Chains A and B, each alone.
Chain A
């Protein structure tokens, strides 16, 4: 099974800042990575698929990058509505696996 390690576990930010969330795969997964955002009590929401493709309707302040084992999600000009938990998902091999999440909080 491919283990996805997300870092940091949590991070504090201020509105308007730029933050980078990381996800590292235990083996190469190519570009088979998505990013999801989950706010409390809600279902996850797709942000990025195929490592770098922004899903329809996702603001362009969200940018995904990476290939192989290392992936990042960058949020530019953080807004209050971005405070959430972010999960990466790999689908390079079954079982598909999620990272443990990064919680983005307000400083």
Chain B
């Protein structure tokens, strides 16, 4: 069955780098796209970026150049790396699956989500 699971640190020090891995099963990263979304405690959702099935990426400019998304298709893993962490980066980080265009035309939709990983940035 389809699963996405985020793994990463619970705590990251201020100004340090965050690394989170999204390990997927039940589908191929060369067919499906994977997006990253985060949610600060008690707040709403924020789209961070996408790893497209062809290997390209798109990012939310709000993260400027401190965000990087990559993948290892042989391990079915997508990676999020963000540097220069601040306290307002404290959030639950989710990865979510987006089917290819031939399933839902050009619509973008997140049909499966991981459980998320809660990351606290500490000073």
Residues of A within 8 A of B (CB): 1, 32, 34, 36, 38, 43-46, 49-50, 53, 55, 87, 89, 91, 94-101
Contacts and interface: CB of A to CB of B under 8 A. Distances in A.
B62 A43 contact: no
What size tier do the contact residues of chain B reach?
Answer: 20 to 34
Contacts of A98: 44-47
B108 A91 contact: yes
B34 to A, nearest CB: 14
A43 B111 contact: no
Contacts of B111: 46, 55
Nearest to A85: B44
Nearest to B43: A100
A102 B6 CA distance: 26
B44 A49 contact: no
B101 interface: no
Contact of B61 (A87, A95, A101): A95
B58 A44 contact: no
